Structure 1
């Protein structure tokens, strides 16, 4: 049920760290360093058992069972991973003399089943592509049916695996290959998903500002009995921006260890305004641009048809895109240098090999630091873009945000360097951030086809000309033109409005419009998009000189500098080591109110 005032549940993630720990039985305080050690023992047991179970199940029959979704009695497998594993008899094993509770085994099997179910799709793709693969030429024949069709980027990755396998084997493959033939078993992440367990292993209680987690942890690396598993009560703070939110449920966290100690990855369910997609009359289209992260434009639907002013908004990353490109080039250089030293160390004498291995370790550490920095910038960039795009859509009165389908979006034709940079941009992360942020404002994010959005005119659906280069577009028939990305945004918004009654919804995915329909979009000169306000720079000198200016001398005027970077517009979240969230508080739009002229046009 949708309508004004209705709400809908949605989940979001948040990270936090415990600031206190006590023994649940005696009430004695426990140092956080001791807690980190005991959690490390738990993660070692979970990781070792998961690695052994994956290695044992790394066989084609395993993926055949998961692809069919049926057990030995031809019953449908449950969605819960640990229940499905118990029905199939896939149980982890532990070293002799080590006692592990059955609830910990649930955690192990749940994580293993999640990994194997994810790889089942890749196994099917490898089997389909290997049947059409020619080892002599390294080419894959076109698919004969829609069932064998996979995204081009995914197919290229599988093709590289098949070429490497053919080089190692030296002979043509006999029949279809499976995932177990072309790659090794995946490594298990060192984490413990407590959501797969019940109250016998972990339980949590949440107050307004704190979360208390009671979990059983081992008291030694190899516990021999129940007495060596004791409950510990951990207390962590809830991030300040979640205080007062309509959160209806807190889920058990996932425990991980990083360089600062124990980290909780929690999930919560809250109520947000429900979106009514069928009654949407205004949409915003977001086009992914090679020059910036994205651009947007508005299109509206009225009794006379679709209208737009063909003016849009372009996201300004304040130079972070250039910084990400520099970090990417630096990481690639470190990787190439480490690979060269590795080849030299293979044939070097023992004393030289030890020296080269030390240099390789330093290069790997630097490359890891560069990757962590890129991940942090990508995250902040994605959520800053999502916040500004949501504010723009809310100020314009849009009920739908249309984004390009990333499965069919590829970067090509811009040169090797630019193609690589565009492919490394955090578009997928930006889509997730946009869907999450827009849901808080009651706006639905819909995926629409991307083909032809930047090349066709929204009015007549004819090819656009480029009189001013790549970034301009002009239609001589409709007499409309402007920025290429803004024209693409109008096309995407049009496809969302025309296909709002034919939306495909799948579990775990955003709503999608599969077919791109056409209807002429008339140019309307009435303003339908908000005017973004220019934010002030935060580094403003607040104190003025106390000296009296001399007569006849013009005093210096203290003018604030223009905004420098995205870090000045986004309220900095707490460090990843304390409390933080991928959710950002809803802020008021900085743009001016938009006129409703298009609805009456």
Structure 2
């Protein structure tokens, strides 16, 4: 139910760490280092059992069953992975003499079924593409069936796998290839998704501003009985920025180990303002730009048609994009150097091989550190962009934010280096952060088709000219133009407003508009975009005062003010802990409505 003041539940994720641990039976405190060790034993058991189960199920019959979605009695497989595995008889096997509770086996089978169900789509695509692949030329024939659509990026990855298989001398297959013929079984991650278990293994309670997790952990790496599984009560603080949120339920976390120890990945359900796509009148279009993370523009649904002032907003990444490009280049160089040393170590004498392996280990450690830096910057960049874009939409009183469909978005035509950098950008993470941040204020985020958004005129739908280079666009017929990213934002917002009543919704995904409709967007002479804050230069005293010094008095020394520079106009970076996080709150809505000021020319 949607309407004025309506609310709707939604789930979000958050991470936290335990600060105290006690034995649930005796109440004696336990060191956090000991807890990390015992959790490591649990994760080792889960990863080993999951890897063995995946290897045992790695054959075409497994994917045939998952594609059909039926068990041996032709009943539909349930959504829960551990229940589906129990019906199919897929149970993990542990070493002799090791006792593992059945609830831990539920965790193992739940994670394995989730991985295999994800790979079932890839198996179907490989089967369809291998029938069209020519191993002699490495070319894929065009599809003959209308329903055999596969994303282009996925097609390129599968084609590379098929070419590599042909180069190894395996030749053309007798029939269609399956995923088991192209690649080996995946490696299972060392994590414990406690959501597949029940209260006998883990339970979560909320006491004030704390989360209390009671979970059974082994007391040895190879527990031999029930006595070697003891319950531990872990206490973790709820992050401060969640204290004022309307959270109605906390779910069992996923336990992982990183360089700092035990990490909880918790999921929670909260109440947020409900959004109604059908009643949206103002939309913000967000276009992903090759030189910055994104740009935005506004389109409004006027009684006489769609209008826009064709002025947009461009995100300032504060130099983080340059830093990401440098770290990416550094990581690629480290990878290339480690690969070269690996080839040399394969034919080197034993004493030289030991030295090369030591150097390879150092390079791998440096590469992991570079990857950790990139992940941290990407997260900060994504949430900072989400906050800025949400504030822009709130100031414009928009009810809808349109983003490009990333499954159809393909970076090409900018050179190998720029294409790689654009493909490695945190667009998916920025979309998730934008959907989370905008949901707090009741603004819906929908995905729209990306093709032609920056190449076609929003008014007449004709190709745009590039009089000033790649970043400019101009339509001589409609006499509109400007930055091509801003025009793309107008097109995206237009497609969202025209298709808001035809959006499709899937579980766990944002609403999507599949068809791009066209309607002319007239240029509005009134200002309909929020004015960005622009700090002024500091006042500078240009000359010394002309004063006549008195006789017998030592004159004062006049020190002129420092000269203003371009850096005085740059906003200082927000304090640590506020940039790119969910702590920051959206700016208040201005008193003057923006959408109501639009008038047709």
TM range (shorter): over 0.9
The 3-state SS of whatever aligns with 1:278 is helix
Cα distance, 1:144–1:598 mapped onto 2, change above 3 Å: farther
Correspondences of 1:419-434 after superposition (within 5 Å): 419-434=419-434
Contact 2:41 2:220 (8 Å CA) reproduced: yes
Cα distance, 1:562–1:375 mapped onto 2, change above 3 Å: farther
Correspondences of 1:110-125 after superposition (within 5 Å): 110-125=110-125
Distance 2:564 2:373 in 1: 33
Cα distance, 1:571–1:355 mapped onto 2, change above 3 Å: closer
User: Which shows bigger deviation, 140-149 or 56-65?
Assistant: 140-149
Contact 1:14 1:583 (8 Å CA) reproduced: no
Match in the other structure for 2:542: none
Higher relative contact order structure (alpha carbons within 8 Å, sequence separation ≥ 6): 1
The 3-state SS of whatever aligns with 2:387 is helix
Match in the other structure for 2:541: none
Match in the other structure for 2:137: 137
Measure how far apart 1:477 and its partner are: 0.8
TM-score (norm 1): 0.94
Measure how far apart 1:507 and its partner are: 1.4
The 3-state SS of whatever aligns with 1:384 is helix
- The answer on 1:235 being equivalent to 2:235 is yes
Correspondences of 1:17-36 after superposition (within 5 Å): 17-36=17-36
Structure 1 gaps, min length 5: 538-548, 575-580
Query: What's the RMSD between the two structures over aligned residues?
Result: 2.0
Contact 1:307 1:598 (8 Å CA) reproduced: no
Distance 2:321 2:292 in 1: 7
Measure how far apart 1:146 and its partner are: 3.0
- The answer on 1:572 being equivalent to 2:553 is no
Match in the other structure for 1:472: 472
* Superposed CA offset, 1:479-521 (max 9, x none): 1111110001000000000001111111122111111111110
Distance 2:358 2:571 in 1: 37
The 3-state SS of whatever aligns with 1:155 is helix
Match in the other structure for 1:65: 65
Highest CA radius of gyration, 1 or 2? 2
Match in the other structure for 1:320: 320
* Superposed CA offset, 1:422-444 (max 9, x none): 11111111111111111111011
User: Which shows bigger deviation, 139-148 or 289-298?
Assistant: 139-148
Distance 2:206 2:584 in 1: 20
Distance 1:122 1:316 in 2: 38
Measure how far apart 1:569 and its partner are: 3.0
The 3-state SS of whatever aligns with 1:446 is strand
Match in the other structure for 1:186: 186
Measure how far apart 1:170 and its partner are: 3.5
Match in the other structure for 1:510: 510
Distance 1:53 1:536 in 2: 64
TM-score (norm 2): 0.94
Distance 2:590 2:352 in 1: 63
Distance 1:596 1:136 in 2: 60
Aligned residues: 583
Contact 2:397 2:594 (8 Å CA) reproduced: no
- The answer on 1:204 being equivalent to 2:204 is yes
The 3-state SS of whatever aligns with 2:392 is helix
Cα distance, 1:145–1:168 mapped onto 2, change above 3 Å: same
Measure how far apart 1:584 and its partner are: 3.9
Quick one: which of 552, 556, 561 aligns to 1:556? Answer: 561
Cα distance, 1:299–1:276 mapped onto 2, change above 3 Å: same
Match in the other structure for 2:309: 309
Match in the other structure for 2:3: 3
Measure how far apart 1:532 and its partner are: 1.8
Match in the other structure for 2:364: 364
Contact 1:382 1:426 (8 Å CA) reproduced: yes
Match in the other structure for 1:577: none
The 3-state SS of whatever aligns with 1:431 is helix
Measure how far apart 1:466 and its partner are: 0.8
Measure how far apart 1:585 and its partner are: 4.0
Distance 1:483 1:73 in 2: 60
Measure how far apart 1:420 and its partner are: 1.2
Distance 1:440 1:228 in 2: 45
Measure how far apart 1:302 and its partner are: 1.4
Measure how far apart 1:155 and its partner are: 0.4
Cα distance, 1:51–1:421 mapped onto 2, change above 3 Å: same
Structure 2 gaps, min length 5: 538-553
Distance 1:531 1:92 in 2: 60
Match in the other structure for 2:275: 275
Measure how far apart 1:208 and its partner are: 2.6
Distance 1:88 1:599 in 2: 61
